[in-house]
Chain A
Amino acid sequence: SAVISQKPSRDICQRGTSLTIQCQVDSQVTMMFWYRQQPGQSLTLIATANQGSEATYESGFVIDKFPISRPNLTFSTLTVSNMSPEDSSIYLCSVGGTAQETQYFGPGTRLLVL
């Protein structure tokens, strides 16, 4: 399985600011995914990021709020823009491929917005 790291591991931010979360994988992967886990809740997919193309966003998530970059096959960033307390969550990146492949997750970024 791939080894996935995320930076920062946690952060406390002020309302109205933006935070960029980095996801690094130790091997080349086609697809990377970004999830949000609100406090006490399950995981919700934000978007799928393929290298060389625009990210595909799920219903309820928009590029202006969560811009994503995927500059190469081992790296991706998710920015949480113009944050509000409702954005306080754990943000996780994962890697996988087709449906039969297991998705492996990074350690997550715990975000608290004051």
Chain B
Amino acid sequence: AQKVTQAQTEISVVEKEDVTLDCVYETRDTTYYLFWYKQPPSGELVFLIRRNSFDEQNEISGRYSWNFQKSTSSFNFTITASQVVDSAVYFCALSEARWGGTGANNLFFGTGTRLTVIP
């Protein structure tokens, strides 16, 4: 069965500090996709990144970076030099193909990590 664990429920950091949000997943599929979404206080869900199970290269986008390690089933997210605008709930999610890979996807979300950046 699929599962996404975000053990950190809440994190507070002071502005300009680096912070890493942890995500551990479980799946029996060999092909799967991992996502990070940001949910600011306004409530909308903002897509940040998608990574497929065959691509373990780390990715950097500005102050954001992601570390995908299949050996430990982890897909961690680091924000460098955090800013107040980074304050939000961050969700890690897993997608598996259904019905032989041609059916609809279904995102399984972790419980989220609430990040507060203190000015």
Chain A contacts to B: CB under 8 angstroms: 1, 31, 33, 41-45, 48, 50, 56, 90, 92, 94, 96-108, 110
Query: Which residue of chain B has the shortest Cβ distance to A110 in the bound complex?
Result: B43
Give the residues in chain A near B95, CB-CB below 8 Å: 99-100, 103
Give 28 CB contacts A-B under 8 Å.
Answer: A33-B104, A33-B106, A42-B91, A42-B109, A42-B112, A43-B91, A44-B109, A45-B107, A90-B43, A94-B107, A97-B104, A98-B101, A98-B102, A98-B105, A99-B31, A99-B33, A99-B95, A100-B105, A101-B105, A103-B35, A103-B47, A103-B95, A103-B105, A103-B107, A105-B37, A107-B43, A108-B43, A108-B44
> For the complex, is B64 an interface residue (Cβ under 8 Å from A)?
no
For residue B51, give the distance in angstroms from its CB to the closest CB of chain A: 11
Query: Pick the contact of B104 from A41, A44, A98 — CB < 8 Å?
Result: A98
The answer to whether B47 and A102 have CB atoms under 8 Å apart is yes
Asked if B110 and A99 make an inter-chain contact with CB atoms under 8 angstroms apart, the answer reads no
Cβ of A94: which chain B residues have Cβ within 8 Å of it?
Answer: 45, 107
Residues of B within 8 A of A (CB): 31-33, 35, 37, 42-45, 47, 50, 52, 91, 95-98, 101-107, 109-112
Q: How far is the CB of B3 from chain A (nearest CB, A)?
A: 12
Q: Is the CB of A41 within 8 A of B111?
A: yes
Give the shortest distance, in Å, between A3 (CB) and chain B (any CB).
12
- Contact check, B45 vs A105: say whether CB atoms are below 8 A apart: yes
A45 to B112 CA separation, bound complex (whole angstroms): 15
CB < 8 Å neighbour of B45 from A31, A48, A92, A96: A92
Residues in B with CB closer than 8 Å to A42 are 91, 109-112
Q: A99 and B32 in contact (CB under 8 A), knowing A1-B47, A90-B43, A108-B45? A: yes
Give the docked Cα–Cα distance between A61 and B111 (Å): 20
Q: Which residues of B contact A92 (CB under 8 A)?
A: 45
Residue contact B109 to A102, C-beta cutoff 8 Å: no
- A48–B104 CA distance with the chains assembled, in angstroms: 8
**Which residues of the other chain, B, contact A44 by a CB distance below 8 angstroms?**
109
Instruction: Assess A98 versus B43: contact at CB under 8 Å? Given A41-B111, A42-B110, A42-B111.
Output: no
